[in-house]
Amino acid sequence: MRLLNFCRITTKIISQLLAIIIVFTFVFACLAKLPAMAASRLFEGLSNAQLVALQSIPDNINTRNSNSFVTEAVNKVGLAVVRIDTERLITRPTNPFFEDPFFERFFDDNVRLQPPSQELLKGQGSGFIVDSKGIILTNAHVVDKADKVTVSLNDGRKFIGEVKGTDKVTDLAVVEVDTKGEILPVATLGNSDLVQVGDWAIAVGNPLGFNNTVTLGIISTLKRPSSAVGIPDKRLDFIQTDAAINPGNSGGPLLNDRGEVIGINTAIRPDAMGIGFAIPINKAKEIKDVLARGEQVPHPFVGIQMITLTPEVAQQNNSDANSVLILPEVKGVLVTKVLSGTPAEISGMRIGDVIVEIDNQSIISAEQLQRKVENSGVGENLQFKILRNGREKELFVVSGQMNY
């Protein structure tokens, strides 16, 4: 009897244990399906392309280090960014009164025989190494007329630099240092033609004497004409950025988010607040080897001063009773001055002419005309179509070399 009761109790306990195991197994199975069900609901409505994009997220997304893309970009280029210190000795002439016979009697010999005074002017800027043998790119105004150039690397090394060539029209210069066989770090040059508005922009340099400074912004505008920036003597279409660029940043690199140089910073507007400008790196690529050889960079010119003409501007001019010219109400370029002895004067161009075509290409702005001439080459025979006194006229202008 006791044995029978024991068997019944044991059977009941085993049945209860099996029931508990079955319940727990069911609960865990449901819980395991919940993430998949949630993910299924989450991905409902996503296109195949979006699903592929999600699947392409790197496996190590949660294991990446904490460094930002800015840190990674600067680390790639930082050692190739240099500080450039310049010295220039200025000799100031003696007072002209000392050499005038009439005033000579009023000064004693000690005063009249004083030598001309001298003053040492110091400047500072930035640059970056583009060749491991010691070729450095910077701004022309950083090394302009310098008697001594000292190049300092971030690792503490210093070299005496030689200015191989400068080009004031593009504000570019090449400095060479004698590395005595040392291999220098080199910055990677990007492609400024691929830059878009809204891309990240990282400025590196030594602004206001603060070495190794990095500022971050975006590309604000592309192809900002130098004339619009307020420097009509230059021939550049700048990259505009809101990354801070101050004196001392000049000549340093502007980087993209991959650490490639897309521009050369230039502090050309002391009144600029939150706006900086950079020379596109592709322009520097075009002429850096010419500058390194000490050769003159070709800059074709025709010799006119001009403004963009629109129908609205012409109407406003023509409605003024005191206007000395009646302008055609068209899009083109108005010649405001013809420089003496230039190709334009030789061709017969006059003040008041309106240029509407060059080589059968419509011209509607001064910036477009400047680019057309710049890209033509020195000695090119250009066919201008102009409007003069209401009539069309053709002039042939042979572009010359701009001297500065």
Which tens digit of pLDDT belongs to each residue from 215-243?
999 999 998 887 777 776 777 889 999 99
Identify whether the C-beta of residue 334 lies closer than 8 Å to the C-beta of residue 306: yes
Active site residues: 141, 171, 250
**Residue 154 structure tokens:** 């971030």
pLDDT: is 103 or 157 the higher one? 157
Give the HSE-up count for residue 36: Cα atoms under 13 Å, Cβ half-sphere. 5
Other Cβ atoms within 10 Å of 38 Cβ, number = 10
Query: Does residue 302 carry a pLDDT above 50?
Result: yes
pLDDT higher than threshold 60 for residue 61: no
Using 50, 70 and 90 to split pLDDT, how confident is the model at 165? very high
User: CA-to-CA distance for 152 and 339, rounded, in angstroms?
Assistant: 43
Q: Could you report the per-residue pLDDT of 71-100, keeping only the tens digit for each?
A: 999 999 989 999 999 999 887 665 555 556
Q: Which residue has better confidence, 404 or 382?
A: 382
Greater confidence (144 vs 225) lies with 144
Q: Give me the DSSP letters along 345-382.
A: HHHT--TT-EEEEETTEE--SHHHHHHHHHTT-TT-EE
Asked if pLDDT for residue 60 goes beyond 50, the answer is no
When computed from its CA atoms, the radius of gyration of the chain, rounded to whole angstroms, is 35
Give the separation between CA 284 and CA 259, rounded to whole angstroms: 17
Q: Report pLDDT for 52.
A: 38
pLDDT score for 275: 85
Query: Tokens representing 187?
Result: 């910055």
- Higher-confidence residue of 44 and 153: namely 153
Is 38's pLDDT higher than 80? no
Residue with the two structure tokens 């069900």 = 37
- Residue identified by tokens 């005033």 is 103
Q: Which two tokens stand for residue 273?
A: 């607040």
Q: Which residue has the higher pLDDT, 226 or 385?
A: 385
Instruction: Assess contact for 255 and 192: CB atoms under 8 A.
Output: no
- Residue 357 is predicted with a pLDDT of 97
Yes or no: say if 400 and 300 are a contact pair by the CB < 8 Å rule.
yes
Locate CATH 2.40.10.10 in the chain.
78-177, 192-291
Percent of the chain clearing pLDDT 70 (strictly above): 75
Would you give the end-to-end CA distance of the chain in angstroms? Answer: 124
Q: What is the pLDDT of residues 319-330, one digit of tens each?
A: 998 888 899 999
Domain with CATH 2.30.42.10 in the chain: 300-401
CA atoms within 13 A on the CB side of 214: 18
**Mean of the per-residue pLDDT values of the chain:** 83
Give domain 300-401's CATH architecture: Roll (2.30)
Rounded mean pLDDT, 181-187: 93
Mean pLDDT of 185-193: 96
Which of 223-227, 280-284, 290-294 has the weakest average pLDDT? 223-227
**Which of 56-70, 181-195, 271-285, 336-350 shows the lowest mean pLDDT across its residues?**
56-70
| Confidence (pLDDT) at 110 | 57
- Between residues 53 and 118, the one the model is more confident about: 118
Rounded Cα gap, residues 310 and 324, in angstroms: 18
CATH superfamily entry for domain 78-177: Trypsin-like serine proteases (2.40.10.10)
Degrees (nearest 5) of the Cα angle 219, 223, 228? Answer: 105
* One-letter amino acid of 296: Q
pLDDT at position 397: 96
Of 3.30.450.40, 2.40.50.100, 1.20.120.1760, 2.40.10.10, the CATH number of 192-291 is 2.40.10.10
What predicted TM-score, i.e. pTM, was given to this entire model?
0.71
